[in-house]
């Protein structure tokens, strides 16, 4: 721990105010979302507590506002602040799982392609190239469409979350694969790997214990930047109505709902979830940018 | 008068863990037409001395104190633009890797002509003729045909010749050459050294030759400065230094070079390694590795002292010596 | 000393006409568009030598002559295109398949900054071969052995807890040597082990390697471009040029009477520290590309003794007193 506070990473973190602020903002977002069920003022999914009388209340500082609903309520009388916190939880969860999915697939493919080389490399990388030629939203829509057609509606609602995670994850892994393959090609020719080969270690063991730890820094950067991208993708899908099921609204779902009332005066229903989304994505992105610079020895 | 004077040069690198002193109290002179060799192990500060002189210290490194004088004029405090002009016209620079000096997008002819017309009062046509002349002089075969080739069309050895031509074509008075032959194979190295030596003699150009290869220095230099941990530990005529080094470090350095003409059972070795800049010992920086260390070395840092034919920063040569 | 040293007639390593070609063709599509054929780089092209147990054979030559490829061929990092390598009388691929045999060979590399995994502690780096070959099982025994090895190469057992970046180049090379010794090898391939080091540190490492050879009866294949270094460590020396041996001779004989014109040129090229004032005549030209080597003797464009025969006929290694030389001029007595 002491070593960490003495390290260059901590130093570069501390000396960049933008990074510190975005870290704090990101932390607030994450905690707010994770602990939504504990700290949110209302439970927007508890149908019993919903009062249609309270529908379309503007934020509390407006003339007709109600201090109980700080950011106002939506068409069904749900507290916006609480809905945003629950929605952020879904968004973050989907984004995080999607990134983990693409990281695991991408790193494995990249490692094997880079280390094995030859035909294996060509085959895996051509698949990645083909994957990259499809816009990720298109891939996600395609996956979602196929699943919708294949399974009955009730089942679909149950697995919808996993479908979204898979759809977003599968469209992003080539980026990881390419980066890891590049670093692996460099590491593979380094002499410490050759020394392990002279001993006769199996390729699997060399990849796992020697190459993998040395190609992970760029992966960390891409994963962070990808998290914000995945959150945005999820929001886009949910906005288009093919994302998470309406029973578990994410930020994207909230924005879609709000979009219907945007021009009838109830602006807060769309704007606040939108701001929450922007703040979350921006802070994660800034963190990713910093991480990229901090881990790049050339810029140090 | 000396062509180049370096007086008490001190280069610092501010870091968050404190200021590192990369060069400390470095002083030497180079006379017109003289070749000064600067040797030392990696991290001794030899390349940094060259970089400080030509005003190309890598940030955050900076000259903290001391002076660099070219023909009596201070050049260490000049603005970037002025220094850039001096760098082409009066001081030529040759680096280890020729690819960093040559622009890959321009033909070598264009780069040579541009340098010549910028610094000398000649027209483009005359400059081109001069450029061909220089390429012939540095030993590029069929120079007239190859002048319009791009850098990547030359081999490593040929590229380094082009770099040398580029450094020489504005007819500078001083050349700072940093490991000019290190990237080359021995047989090519020999060709390039022979050429540099001839050119320096014919054109009367002074040269500061920075290298770790004592053999190159012995063949080329008139005087040698040995550097250790950011300071000059010994300076003197090349013959004296190679044969009768005075400083214990220079003695160890010379002894550890494997001889070509005989097999020795055990090479002389200096135990340990050069200290990091962040942990330079008190007193003489060499004291933990020195076989002749005594009390004074541990507390007081020696200046360059008269040691007969050379000057050495070692208390053995103080009045009264080790007594 | 080990029983292996000097016992019997089986050499530690025997290479018979080994070759390694690399396919350096452009990708198929580019080749079709540019209408180019396949291109082969003959990095090593027919080398034969043997290394008796307990001795050092050095291979010298300029960059691109294939010496490092030979080093990788004899430990099985590359497969041979042609020829056989015998490790202690056994075919190399068989020996590589047997972990006991494999533990008898080890390699030391050139770049002390790339040869140690930066994410591992020194103790784990040195212990890796011990664990891989299952030489010791007990954690305490492994730690003790690593401490012993570190002491043997002039480091402290406490250094085991540090990471590679905390060491200087020379110390890292010592760690590399400790790792190589940890499987109790008899045969060490050393690929330019000192060329990235400062001269005073180079002396430390060379002394250490000689000391270890005497103490442990090791057999070395030593790769270097530096003739002066090679002279200090070798029993026999092979001079390589463009993937071939041009001269193979006992060390002293090579330096006393270099026969091949290229060997002489190499010696001539080394700057003279003694400054006897002798005028050196550097050899002209540069090493040609190994992708399209000149016909006949590959050295002929740079050779002062070349004649019509050299330009067409490839010379083969022939005995010349105590040495083997591949040169028409030497054979005909023109040298």
> pLDDT digit string (tens) for C183-204?
999 999 999 999 889 888 999 9
> Residue B64 phi/psi, 5° resolution?
-90, -35
Distance CA A169, CA B245 (A): 68
Q: How confident is the model at residue B187 (pLDDT cuts 50, 70, 90)?
A: confident
pLDDT of residue B98 exceeding 80? no
Neighbours of chain C (3+ CB pairs under 8 A): A, B
The two counts, helices (H) then strands (E), for chain A are: 13, 0
Contact residues, C window 58-87, toward A, CB-based 8 Å cutoff: 72, 75-77
How many CB atoms lie under 10 A from the CB of residue C223? 26
DSSP state of C311: H
Alpha-carbon distance C302 to nearest alpha carbon in chain A (angstroms): 33
Query: Does the distance separating the beta carbons of A200 and C102 come in below 8 Å?
Result: yes
Contacts of A225 (CB under 8 A, 6+ apart): A284, A285, A288, A289, A292
- Cα–Cα–Cα angle for C145, C149, C151, rounded to 5 degrees: 115
Is the previous residue joined to A162 through a cis bond, with omega within 30 degrees of 0? no
Query: Does the distance separating the beta carbons of B218 and C272 come in below 8 Å?
Result: yes
B155, B266, B273 ranked by CB distance to C168: nearest: B273
pLDDT of residue B182 exceeding 90? no
The two counts, helices (H) then strands (E), for chain C are: 13, 12
C148-178: b or e for each residue (b if 16 or more CB lie within 10 Å)?
ebbebbbbeeebbebebeebbbbbbbbbbbb
More confident residue, C104 or C278: C104
C40-54: b or e for each residue (b if 16 or more CB lie within 10 Å)?
ebbbbbbbebebbbb
Under 8 Å CB pairs connecting chains B and C tally to: 123
C110, C115, C129 ranked by CB distance to A199: nearest: C129
**Which residues of chain C have a CB within 8 Å of the CB of A213?**
117, 119
Q: Are A8 and A300 in contact (CB under 8 A)?
A: yes
Judge if C246 and C132 occupy the same domain: no
Mean pLDDT of the region B160-187:
86
In a domain? residue C2: no
Instruction: List residues of B whose CB lies inside 8 A of any C CB.
Output: 41-42, 155, 157-158, 185-191, 193-194, 212-216, 218-219, 238-239, 242, 252-253, 255-271, 273-274
Under 8 Å CB pairs connecting chains A and C tally to: 48
DSSP state of A73: B
**Which residues of chain C have a CB within 8 Å of the CB of B267?**
203, 206-207, 232
Q: Residue A269: exposed, middle, or buried by beta-carbon count in 10 A (0-12, 13-18, 19+)?
A: buried
Alpha-carbon distance B76 to nearest alpha carbon in chain C (angstroms): 30
Please name the residue of chain C whose CA is at the shortest distance from the CA of residue B181. Answer: C271
Query: Which of A241, A242, A203, A228 lies closest to A291, judged by CA?
Result: A228
Is the predicted ipTM greater than 0.95, yes or no?
no
Query: Does the distance separating the beta carbons of A191 and C109 come in below 8 Å?
Result: yes
Which pLDDT belongs to residue C5? 43
Which pLDDT belongs to residue A300? 40
More confident residue, C251 or C283: C251
Lowest mean pLDDT among A38-52, B20-34, C114-128: A38-52
> pLDDT digit string (tens) for B101-144?
888 899 999 999 999 998 888 999 999 999 999 898 888 888 89
> Residue B307 phi/psi, 5° resolution?
-125, 45
Distance CA C119, CA C125 (A): 10
Which pLDDT belongs to residue A299? 45
**Which residues of chain B have a CB within 8 Å of the CB of C283?**
187, 190
Contact residues, A window 156-215, toward C, CB-based 8 Å cutoff: 190-192, 194-201, 210, 213-214
Contacts of A129 (CB under 8 A, 6+ apart): A174
Collapsed DSSP state (helix, strand, coil) of residue B21: strand
Q: How confident is the model at residue B60 (pLDDT cuts 50, 70, 90)?
A: confident
CA distances from B165 to B53, B136, B137, B150, B152 (A): 21, 9, 8, 15, 16
A272 token code pair:
């606040």
Query: Does the distance separating the beta carbons of A198 and C106 come in below 8 Å?
Result: yes
Query: Does the distance separating the beta carbons of C115 and A190 come in below 8 Å?
Result: yes
Torsion of CA A224, A226, A230, A231, to 10 degrees: 40
Alpha-carbon distance C252 to nearest alpha carbon in chain B (angstroms): 8
Judge if C93 and C240 occupy the same domain: yes
Q: Are C111 and C130 in contact (CB under 8 A)?
A: no
Q: Are A109 and A128 in contact (CB under 8 A)?
A: yes
Note whether C172 contacts A: Cβ–Cβ < 8 A.
no
B185, B213, B273 ranked by CB distance to C171: nearest: B273
Q: Are A233 and A139 in contact (CB under 8 A)?
A: no
Which pLDDT belongs to residue A38? 83
Distance CA B272, CA C270 (A): 28
Which of C58, C153, C192, C198 should be substituted to probe chain B, the one whose Cβ sees the most B Cβ atoms within 10 Å? C198
Alpha-carbon distance B289 to nearest alpha carbon in chain C (angstroms): 11
Q: How confident is the model at residue B50 (pLDDT cuts 50, 70, 90)?
A: very high
C105 token code pair:
């060979």
Alpha-carbon distance C194 to nearest alpha carbon in chain B (angstroms): 12
According to DSSP, the β-strands at C187-191 and C105-108 are: parallel
Residues in a beta bridge with B310: B307
Distance CA A203, CA A183 (A): 16
Identify the domain containing residue A21 by its residue range. Answer: 2-299
Note whether C105 contacts A: Cβ–Cβ < 8 A.
yes
Note whether C124 contacts B: Cβ–Cβ < 8 A.
no
In a domain? residue C81: yes
Q: How confident is the model at residue C278 (pLDDT cuts 50, 70, 90)?
A: low
According to DSSP, the β-strands at C323-325 and C244-250 are: antiparallel
Identify the domain containing residue C197 by its residue range. Answer: 13-104+185-332
Which pLDDT belongs to residue A14? 82
Query: Does the distance separating the beta carbons of C107 and A195 come in below 8 Å?
Result: yes
Neighbours of chain B (3+ CB pairs under 8 A): C
Q: How many structural domains comprise chain A?
A: 1
Note whether C136 contacts B: Cβ–Cβ < 8 A.
no
A194, A198, A214 ranked by CB distance to C118: nearest: A214
Note whether C3 contacts B: Cβ–Cβ < 8 A.
no
Strands in B62-70's sheet, in edge-to-edge order, are B18-30, B4-15, B62-70, B73-74
In a domain? residue C110: no
C3 token code pair:
């029983």
A29 token code pair:
């977002």
C105, C133, C179 ranked by CB distance to A195: nearest: C179
Note whether A48 contacts C: Cβ–Cβ < 8 A.
no
**Which residues of chain C have a CB within 8 Å of the CB of B47?**
none
> pLDDT digit string (tens) for B62-79?
999 999 999 999 999 899
pLDDT of residue B188 exceeding 80? no
Judge if C293 and C180 occupy the same domain: no
Note whether A3 contacts C: Cβ–Cβ < 8 A.
no
Q: Residue C234: exposed, middle, or buried by beta-carbon count in 10 A (0-12, 13-18, 19+)?
A: buried
In a domain? residue C284: yes
Distance CA B320, CA B316 (A): 8
Query: Does the distance separating the beta carbons of B190 and C283 come in below 8 Å?
Result: yes
> pLDDT digit string (tens) for C157-180?
999 999 999 898 999 999 999 999
C183-202: b or e for each residue (b if 16 or more CB lie within 10 Å)?
bebbbbbbbbbbebbbbbbb
Alpha-carbon distance B268 to nearest alpha carbon in chain C (angstroms): 7
Judge if C311 and C162 occupy the same domain: no
Q: Are A200 and C102 in contact (CB under 8 A)?
A: yes
Query: Does the distance separating the beta carbons of C270 and B216 come in below 8 Å?
Result: no
**Which residues of chain A have a CB within 8 Å of the CB of C129?**
199
Q: How confident is the model at residue C276 (pLDDT cuts 50, 70, 90)?
A: low
> Which residue stretches of chain A have pLDDT < 70?
1-6, 47, 296-300
In a domain? residue C3: no
B199 token code pair:
């050119």
Note whether C208 contacts B: Cβ–Cβ < 8 A.
no
Which alpha helices (H) appear in chain B, and where do they start and end? 46-53, 80-89, 98-101, 108-119, 124-137, 143-146, 156-168, 186-203, 214-220, 238-243, 248-255, 295-299
Which residue is associated with the tokens 């060490």? Answer: C188
pLDDT of residue B323 exceeding 60? no
Q: How many structural domains comprise chain C?
A: 2
Which CATH number fits the domain that encloses residue A220? 1.10.3720.10
DSSP state of B225: E
How many CB atoms lie under 10 A from the CB of residue B10? 17
Q: How confident is the model at residue B38 (pLDDT cuts 50, 70, 90)?
A: very high
Q: Are B39 and B224 in contact (CB under 8 A)?
A: yes
Which alpha helices (H) appear in chain C, and where do they start and end? 28-34, 67-74, 92-97, 99-102, 122-132, 139-152, 169-181, 199-216, 227-233, 251-256, 261-269, 308-312, 328-332
Which pLDDT belongs to residue B235? 96
Which of C75, C77, C117 should be substituted to probe chain A, the one whose Cβ sees the most A Cβ atoms within 10 Å? C117
Please name the residue of chain C whose CA is at the shortest distance from the CA of residue B270. Answer: C200
Q: Which fold has domain B4-90+172-317?
A: Rossmann fold (3.40.50)
> pLDDT digit string (tens) for B259-273?
888 888 898 888 888
B41, B263, B269 ranked by CB distance to C207: nearest: B269
Query: Does the distance separating the beta carbons of C102 and A192 come in below 8 Å?
Result: no
Q: Are A243 and A189 in contact (CB under 8 A)?
A: no
**Which residues of chain B have a CB within 8 Å of the CB of C287?**
185, 187
């Amino acid at each position: 721990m002491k070593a960490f506070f003495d390290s260059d990473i901590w130093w570069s973190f501390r000396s960049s105010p933008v990074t510190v602020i975005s870290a704090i903002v990101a932390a607030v977002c994450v905690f707010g979302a994770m602990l939504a069920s504990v700290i949110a003022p209302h439970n927007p999914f508890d149908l019993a507590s919903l009062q249609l009388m309270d529908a379309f209340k503007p934020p509390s500082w407006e003339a007709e506002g109600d201090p109980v609903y700080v950011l106002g309520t939506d068409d069904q009388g749900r507290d916006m602040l609480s809905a945003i916190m629950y929605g952020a939880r879904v968004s973050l969860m989907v984004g995080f799982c999607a990134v983990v999915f693409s990281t695991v697939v991408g790193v494995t493919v990249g490692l094997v392609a880079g280390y094995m080389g030859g035909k294996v490399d060509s085959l895996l990388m051509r698949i990645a190239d083909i994957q990259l030629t499809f816009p990720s939203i298109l891939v996600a829509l395609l996956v979602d469409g196929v699943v919708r057609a294949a399974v009955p509606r009730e089942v679909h609602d149950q697995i919808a979350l996993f479908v979204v995670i898979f759809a977003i994850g599968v469209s992003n892994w080539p980026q990881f694969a390419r980066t890891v393959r590049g670093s692996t090609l460099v590491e593979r020719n380094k002499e410490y790997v050759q020394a392990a080969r002279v001993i006769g270690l199996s390729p699997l063991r060399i990849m796992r214990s020697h190459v993998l730890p040395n190609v992970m820094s760029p992966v960390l950067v891409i994963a962070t930047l990808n998290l914000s991208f995945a959150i945005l993708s999820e929001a886009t899908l949910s906005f288009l109505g093919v994302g998470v099921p309406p029973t578990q609204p994410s930020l994207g779902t909230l924005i879609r709902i709000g979009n219907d009332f945007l021009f009838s005066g109830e602006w807060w229903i769309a704007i606040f979830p939108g701001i929450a989304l922007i703040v979350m994505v921006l802070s994660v992105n800034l963190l990713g940018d910093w991480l990229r610079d901090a881990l790049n020895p050339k810029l140090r | 008068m000396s062509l180049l004077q370096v007086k008490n040069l001190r280069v610092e690198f501010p870091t968050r863990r404190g200021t590192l002193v990369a060069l400390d109290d470095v002083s030497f002179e180079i006379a017109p037409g003289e070749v000064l060799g600067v040797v030392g192990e990696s991290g001794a500060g030899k390349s940094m001395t060259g970089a400080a002189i030509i005003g190309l210290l890598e940030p955050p490194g900076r000259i903290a104190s001391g002076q660099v004088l070219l023909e009596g004029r201070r050049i260490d405090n000049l603005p970037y633009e002025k220094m850039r002009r001096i760098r082409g016209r009066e001081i030529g620079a040759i680096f280890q890797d020729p690819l960093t000096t040559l622009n890959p997008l321009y033909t070598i002819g264009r780069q040579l002509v541009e340098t010549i017309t910028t610094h000398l009062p000649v027209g483009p046509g005359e400059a081109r003729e001069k450029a061909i002349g220089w390429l012939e002089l540095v030993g590029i075969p069929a120079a007239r045909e190859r002048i319009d080739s791009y850098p990547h069309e030359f081999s490593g050895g040929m590229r380094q010749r082009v770099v040398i031509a580029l450094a020489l074509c504005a007819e500078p008075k001083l050349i700072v050459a940093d490991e000019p032959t290190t990237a080359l194979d021995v047989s090519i190295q020999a060709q390039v050294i022979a050429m540099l030596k001839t050119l320096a003699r014919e054109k009367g150009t002074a040269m500061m030759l920075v290298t770790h290869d004592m053999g190159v220095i012995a063949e080329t230099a008139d005087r040698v400065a040995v550097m250790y941990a950011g300071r000059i530990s010994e300076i003197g005529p090349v013959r004296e230094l190679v044969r009768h080094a005075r400083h214990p470090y220079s003695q160890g350095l010379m002894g550890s070079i494997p001889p070509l003409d005989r097999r020795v059972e055990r090479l002389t070795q200096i135990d340990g390694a050069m200290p990091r800049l962040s942990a330079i010992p008190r007193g003489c920086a060499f004291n933990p590795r020195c076989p002749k260390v005594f009390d004074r070395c541990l507390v007081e840092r020696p200046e360059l002292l008269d040691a007969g034919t050379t000057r050495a920063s070692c208390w053995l040569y103080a009045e009264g010596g080790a007594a | 000393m080990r029983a292996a040293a000097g016992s019997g007639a089986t050499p530690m390593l025997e290479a018979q006409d080994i070759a390694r070609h690399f396919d350096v063709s452009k990708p198929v599509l580019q080749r079709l568009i540019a209408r180019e054929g396949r291109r082969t780089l003959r990095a090593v092209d027919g080398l034969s030598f043997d290394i008796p147990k307990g001795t050092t054979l050095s291979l010298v030559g300029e960059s691109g002559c294939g010496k490092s490829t030979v080093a990788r061929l004899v430990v099985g990092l590359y497969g041979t295109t042609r020829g056989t390598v015998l490790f202690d009388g056994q075919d190399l691929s068989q020996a590589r398949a047997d972990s006991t045999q494999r533990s008898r060979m080890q390699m030391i590399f050139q770049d002390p900054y790339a040869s140690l995994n930066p994410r591992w502690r020194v103790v784990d780096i040195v212990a890796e071969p011990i664990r891989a070959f299952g030489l010791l099982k007990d954690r305490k025994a492994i730690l003790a052995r690593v401490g012993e090895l570190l002491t043997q190469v002039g480091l402290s057992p406490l250094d085991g807890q540090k990471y590679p970046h905390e060491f200087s180049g020379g110390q890292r090379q010592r760690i590399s040597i400790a790792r190589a010794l940890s499987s109790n090898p008899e045969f060490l391939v050393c690929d330019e082990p000192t060329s990235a080091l400062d001269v005073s540190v180079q002396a430390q490492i060379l002394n250490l390697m000689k000391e270890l050879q005497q103490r442990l009866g090791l057999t070395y294949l030593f790769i270097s471009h530096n003739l002066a270094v090679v002279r200090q460590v070798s029993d026999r020396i092979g001079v390589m040029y463009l993937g071939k041996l041009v001269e193979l001779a006992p060390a002293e004989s090579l330096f006393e009477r270099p026969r091949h014109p290229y060997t002489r040129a190499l010696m001539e090229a080394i700057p003279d520290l003694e400054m006897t004032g002798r005028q050196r005549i550097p050899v002209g030209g540069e090493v040609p590309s190994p992708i399209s080597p000149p016909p006949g003797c590959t050295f002929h464009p740079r050779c002062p003794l070349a004649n019509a025969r050299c330009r067409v006929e490839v010379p083969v290694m022939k005995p010349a007193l105590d040495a083997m030389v591949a040169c028409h001029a030497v054979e005909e007595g023109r040298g």
